[in-house]
Structure 1
Amino acid sequence: MDERSPWTPTVIRPADVDVSPDAEGLRRQLTSVDDLGAELARAKALVWRGFSVSPEEFEELLPLLLPQRWAYRHGNSPRTKVGDNVYTSTEYPPQYTISMHNELSYARNWPTRLLFYCQQAPRTGGETPVVDGTAWLSALDPEVREAFADGVRYRQNLHDGHGFGKSWQQTFETDSRAEVQEFLDDTGAEWEWRSDGTLHIEQHGPATLHDERTGEVVWFNQADQWHVAGLGDETAAALAAIMAEEDMPQSVVFADGSPIPAEYVHQVRERGLAEAVDVGWEAGDLMLIDNVLVGHGRRPFTGPRRVLVAMSG
């Protein structure tokens, strides 16, 4: 029997590291760490609480946490860009749960770090659940793990400004087809422009990853978010009534093109959420996660909530 304690993020408070409870104290703590990357790989998720970081101070601290920030190019969730490669967290109705996922795991190049900053905490709920990728993988039935062994194939249909989901211009943060084509060619994706202006993209992705730093094998894909079964029965039925699954803004199949059973999708979603640890928010909190070793999501909430996100390789 495995008697190890369940994994939880490492929470750092000013008193824990003998610094002042403000942004300067956090700066002192960060500059005292010899190798933040190694510390993050060990902890998998780091939460700084009680430092009361303001939005302006957050901007000043960003270089210490994410030396090189990525644009959210090829991102499929609705966000607003609010700074230099700083975005709002996914703008999804507050009454719904966002299931566990690793950011941009469907892309050829994914970020290794994600930084969250709470500018405004909700009245209730709104926690960011984080899940250890090894625990998520272990929670799945052997039949499901085996079925996903060869990975998955993601499919996107990005409209030209009018249609369901995000346009290709929003997705790639450009109006230039040439820039999009160059980006996709660099990723090895299959793509085509269709006669109505839609950009169709197909990309193979892994279902699991072996992390060379830790030796761990983790669940690493977004099949449950891309599959029609992950939309909920009512939404899935409404979309199915007006378009074929292959014409939807996004969909996913096994690597060989065969369909993924809905019950597998439900199991992946439900067990990922069940294994997750909820991180509640207070204004001024920050959380840095290793985007390979842990997945993240969002719980429902009430009242205004503003959590900003930045990412890096």
Structure 2
Amino acid sequence: MVRLENWTPLEIDPVGIGGPEELVQRLSELGPRELTGLLAEEKALVFRGFDVTAESLSAVLAQLLPNRSGQDAGACGRTVDAVFRTETGRPETTVWPYHKMSAAHAWPTRLAMYCDTAPLTGGESMVVDAEGWLAALDPALRERLLPGVRYVRYFHDGSGIGESWQGAFGTDRREQVELFLDGTGDEWVWKADGGIQVSRVLPATVRHPITGSEVWFNQIHRWHPAGSGPREVLWRMLPEEQLPWNATFADGSAIPGHTVTEICGRGIATAVDIPWNRGDLMLLDNVSLAHGRRPFTGARRICVAMSN
């Protein structure tokens, strides 16, 4: 197995007046161009000890995410102003590392994660170097995935497991659904049972826009039943073509469950845990790094903003 040198984030602590005021000043002095280069080199920056609050978060994000929409972000946790709270459902489970929106046609290049409430125990963010993840995979699998990954959604006709197409598209007229899908570039087909299957093929790897490094960048293990926790039960209950979510090879052939297990294992083996304290902030390169979450107890409130 090929392994790269273990990666760790760059941690930045106060050296002057402290508080969010120092952080804003230092980021302003650094400037957006230098920050872009530093993030490309380090992949993640963790700011500790600056005591960032929900009220001061907006000023910090204005420096970290200059292209973020909604510059005057309100309190942490609101879904307005481009700041939203991460889901805390099933705290006893692990959220496997993934790249935000890597199953979409476009994705953010930067994520800012802010700790408003630290968990009692656990709850670390797991980050995985995507270049190392790719290098750790079987070369035969990498070759098989050269044409890409097919992400498949199935929407039933009002009765079934998962979401109906009427609810998903906000209409009961097929022609409106077809008009919308034609504009997305996705493939679609109406099924004999009245449902619709929608799919798209996206790359399994991408090149980092600054460094040029090839990295693992997909959500096979989040869409495939073998890697999606409770949805694995659906795999045993439903025909494959009626699974609400699925991932296949680009030609539509099935990805074996053991392959998905191997993908998860190779990624998690190199994960670096980032513990959280109230007021901590992390700027993450969403292309270089995948991120997930360890199980936790107590309350855990992590707020996220993103930009290109």
Shared fold by TM > 0.5?
yes
Alignment partner, residue 248 of structure 1? 243
Deviations 1:26-54 (A, max 9, x none): 10111011322222111111111111111
Equivalent pair of 2:102/2:218 in contact (CA under 8 Å) = yes
What is the alpha-carbon root mean square deviation over aligned residues?
3.1
Q: 1:134 to 1:241 in 2, by over 3 A?
A: closer
1:132 and 2:129 matched:
yes
Select 2:303's aligned residue among 305, 308, 311.
308
Map 1:188-199; keep pairs closer than 5 Å.
188-191=185-188
Cα shift at 1:3? 10
Cα shift at 1:169? 9.3
Alignment partner, residue 38 of structure 1? 37
Q: 1:254 to 1:263 in 2, by over 3 A?
A: same
Give, as a single letter, the amino acid of the residue that structure 2 aligns with 1:52. Answer: D
Give, as a single letter, the amino acid of the residue that structure 2 aligns with 1:304. Answer: A
Alignment partner, residue 77 of structure 1? none
Cα distance in 2, alignment partners of residues 211 and 50 from structure 1: 31
Partner-residue secondary structure (3-state), 2:215: strand
Deviations 1:70-123 (A, max 9, x none): 69xxxxxxxx85331211113431011111111111111111111111100000
> Which 5+ residue runs of structure 2 have no aligned equivalent?
71-76
**TM-score, length-scaled by structure 1:** 0.84
Partner-residue secondary structure (3-state), 2:135: helix
Alignment partner, residue 252 of structure 2? 257
Q: Greater CA deviation, 158-167 or 127-136?
A: 158-167
Cα distance in 2, alignment partners of residues 223 and 26 from structure 1: 37
Select 2:93's aligned residue among 92, 96, 106.
96
Map 1:126-275; keep pairs closer than 5 Å.
126-158=123-155, 164=161, 184-191=181-188, 200-232=197-229, 235-236=231-232, 238-275=233-270
Equivalent pair of 1:228/1:245 in contact (CA under 8 Å) = no
Alignment partner, residue 64 of structure 1? 63
Deviations 1:167-215 (A, max 9, x none): 779979x889999877755542124677999664211111111224212
Partner-residue secondary structure (3-state), 1:201: strand
Alignment partner, residue 6 of structure 2? 6
Partner-residue secondary structure (3-state), 1:64: helix
- Count of residue correspondences: 298
Partner-residue secondary structure (3-state), 1:275: coil
Q: 1:141 to 1:282 in 2, by over 3 A?
A: same
Cα distance in 2, alignment partners of residues 48 and 112 from structure 1: 19
Larger Rg: 2
Q: 1:3 to 1:93 in 2, by over 3 A?
A: closer
Alignment partner, residue 293 of structure 2? 298
Aligned-pair identity (%): 46
1:55 and 2:40 matched:
no
Alignment partner, residue 110 of structure 2? 113
Cα distance in 2, alignment partners of residues 68 and 169 from structure 1: 34
